[in-house]
Structure formats: structure tokens, C-alpha cells
Chain A
Amino acid sequence: MSVRLAGVSFRYPGSDTDALHEVSVTLRPGEVTLVTGRLGAGCSTLLLVIAGLAPHITGGSRSGEVTTLDRDPATRDGRKALAGRVGLLLPTPWTQLSGMSFTVEEEVAFGPANLGWRRARIAGAVDEAMQRFGVAHLARRDPRTLSGGELQRVMFAGVLAMEPEVLLLDEPALELDPAGAQGVYELLPVVAQERTVLLASTDLDRAAAAAHRALLLDRGSLVADGTVAEVLGNDGAVATGCSTTVAEIARAVGLTPGYPLSVADAVRRFTR
């Protein structure tokens, strides 16, 4: 059990509604958990609360208990102890550029260097992360000259190079072309072998296949928690557009709920 939320609510400053409302959930290592919902459902906020950035950076107020790797990430001591152990990838790569790097290699090394690692360890982690995301050939490029997709992979490599135990991903493939996005999602189960992965995504056709478990949020409340098939195959999820294209088609043609999520699922169902 690496992340545990018990009755957690969060409200941004100047807002009069909860962005998260009474959410209780537990995340385990070795699993990719997908969290989805309509725009403003609170998926990003959930990630920020687990990382402690809400309220540490965003301001606002939190209630309930958050335990990330046995610490409360919003306290001073918790933040110190968790530095580098919780990785977060935000959706827009440009605003995540460190501003301290003249090459991609330096950009990927930004996080590890901040943790005070020895140079040899940094070099090893950076090389491995760049290989994994297929950006090793960009190592000497100026990160400010990369395309959105290239940059998003570089930023992912930069987060993974810190070897975090909990990995929080907010739309990690937003800037990638379909093939690139597929590649990133296929990596997630591999990455999750050694850590806890929480993935916020609305690209459900790809994300559903990469996840072991799914959470569905609606206006800040957790409305479903179960296997991907249970949560996304549910009538309510499909009706609100929080499911895959195949499930939507299945519902439109009048199949019974527990909709198949992919073509393979559908085939399996009809050959049973």
C-alpha cells in the first residue's frame, strides 16, 4: 500500500465548491490505476493532492487523511522525506522545462541533480531513461527546439530518471501522434512493475488497455472503483463519454451493459 486517501476533500482558493469531495482510495505498487472523468471531475486535483502540491503550491484547503509512502505529503517534514520519491508529469511539456538546461541530456538530469546524486549515478539513470523513451538520439539537442511530442517524451524521461516509487501521470501523451501515444501507454505496465502508477487520462481507447484498475470521478466524488472492465464497461460511464469508442458503439447498437472495451473484448464476447 503506497498511497492511501481517507475521506479527502480539497477546495481551491477563491472557489466555493470542492474539487475533490470525500474521496477514499488505496493504491498498490505493481499496478497501473487509471483515473478518469469528465472535464473538471477532479482527476488532476487527485494527482496533485497525492503529490502534496495541492495545497502546498496551489493554496486552498484540504481535509481528510492523505498518506503517500507513509507520509503526509502536505506537511513540511513529509515534503522533505518525499522529495524525488513521487514523480509527477503534467500535460503541457513546455511549462515543465527547467530553464536550466542547454541540452536534452541536462534537462533529463535536472531532477536527479537536484536530489544531490553523484554524477556517475545521474549519468546512468539519465541514459537509461532516455533509452526507454527513445530520445537518446536527441541527447545533445537544445530542448527548446524540440517538437511537442519529442519534448513530452523528454519530460517523461526526466521524471522517470529520478526513479520515483510513485508515478503520477496527467495526460502523458497529449502532444504525441497516435503511434507515439501508443508507445508511451504500452510502457506503463512495464514501468509499473517496480512502482505505483496513477494515470489520469481521457484518451481511454489507449489508456484502458494499459491499466489494471480504474477509478471514475464525477464532480470531485469517486463514483466507481474496480477493474477497468467493470468501471468503464458500466452503463453510466459509457453514457457520460467516459469510456472507449468500442464501448460507445456497443451501447449504441443496444448491447447489454458490461460493454466490451476493445475490439478484442468484443470478439471474445461473441465467440463465447
Chain B
Amino acid sequence: MAAVSPRLLALIPLAVGINLAMGKFAAATSLPLFLDTAGTVLVAALAGPAAALLTGVVSQTTFTVLDGRLMWLAFLPVQLGVALYASWAAWRGLFASVPRALLSGAGLGVLAATLSWPISLLLFGGVTAGGVTIVTTLLTALGVPLTWAVYGASLSADVLDKVVTFALVHAVLISLPGRMAARFPAAARALGRT
């Protein structure tokens, strides 16, 4: 790894902090949200794919260490997928409006579910986070085969979560004060302003 600029050294821990603090807000809404990729998506929009990938790696590692459940580390590919997809979306200016953000957020939800599906199925017998597993259990009880029950549960959780995440990042980008926006030129592109 080449030297990381001091600005990224300062930004990435804060972005991971955002990833892992969003749970407090999600809990306040009592909706099945995690928002634990909001910081990664934000970094993708502000600083591009390399910084976003690094944020994803550090985020998943830190979360695993702080939470103590080693299996979270296995879901690292999900964070990396989110980082790449969000960088692409930002580059294409998909944060320009609320409808665009919602739609591309839904796309990310499908991607994230598709990435986490084989991991939870093969490594953990379909059992992952509390809420998702309850849906898996319900679907299995209704006679859905385990493979599809796991995918269905992941989809139901991820699509809503990533839609809200993208809408949130859109809201952050449009409310960046001018001086701060000037410090992150990539934000203008994510908002389709170039």
C-alpha cells in the first residue's frame, strides 16, 4: 500500500465512525435499517473508489473487533461491493436527485443481498443478523427452500436499507456548505453538476 494522504488518514476513521454510529439513528426509527454503509457511500462520493474500498476494509475489520463476532469479517466482500458500486454511481452523477438516488440505492440493495447470500448460506447455514434470520425462519416455515429463504430475507433487508442510505447521502451532499464542498470537488460530480 502506497502512502495514504493525511487527509484520507483523517477522513477514513471518521467515515467508519459514521458507518458504525448510524445504528443509533436507525434504532430511533424502529425500522429494520442498519445504515452501516452510509460512511462508505459518502466517501465514494467525496473521494472516489480507492478511498471507499479502504473505508470498507477498515469498517468491516473495526466492526468485527468491536462487536467480537468474528463472522462479520466474512461479509467483507459486501462492503467492497458497496464501495465500488457507490463510486460508480457517484461518477455517473446518480446522487443528482432524490428519485435517482432512491433507484440507484435499490440497485445497490440487490447487489448487497446477492453478495451476502452465498456467504451466510455456505458459511453460517443461513443464520446471520437477528432480524434477517427471523425472516429466513418465517420463509422456511412457509415451505420456501432454505437457499431462497436466505436470499429473500437478505433482499428484504438490504433494498430498504440501501435506498435509505443513498437518499441520506444525497441529503448530505446537497447540504454541504460551499466552503466544504470546495474541499471535495468530486461531490459536484456525484450531484451531476459538472
Contact = CB atoms under 8 A, between A and B. Distances in A.
A31 B183 CA distance: 35
Contacts of A254: none
A99 B6 CA distance: 13
Q: Say what secondary structure dominates the interface of chain A.
A: loop
Q: Say what secondary structure dominates the interface of chain B.
A: helix
A13 B182 contact: yes
B179 A59 contact: no
A15 B179 contact: yes
B179 A14 contact: yes
Nearest to A13: B182
Contacts of A58: 183
B7 interface: yes
Contacts of B7: 57
Interface string A8-21: 00001111000000
Query: What class of interface size applies to chain A in its complex with B?
Result: under 10
Interface string A92-119: 0000000100000000000000000000
A155 to B, nearest CB: 16
A59 B13 CA distance: 21
A60 to B, nearest CB: 9
B193 to A, nearest CB: 13
B194 to A, nearest CB: 15
Contacts of A99: 13
A14 B178 contact: yes
A57 B183 CA distance: 10
A157 B168 CA distance: 41
18 contacts: A12-B179, A12-B182, A13-B179, A13-B182, A13-B183, A14-B178, A14-B179, A14-B181, A14-B182, A14-B183, A15-B179, A15-B182, A57-B6, A57-B7, A58-B183, A59-B182, A59-B183, A99-B13
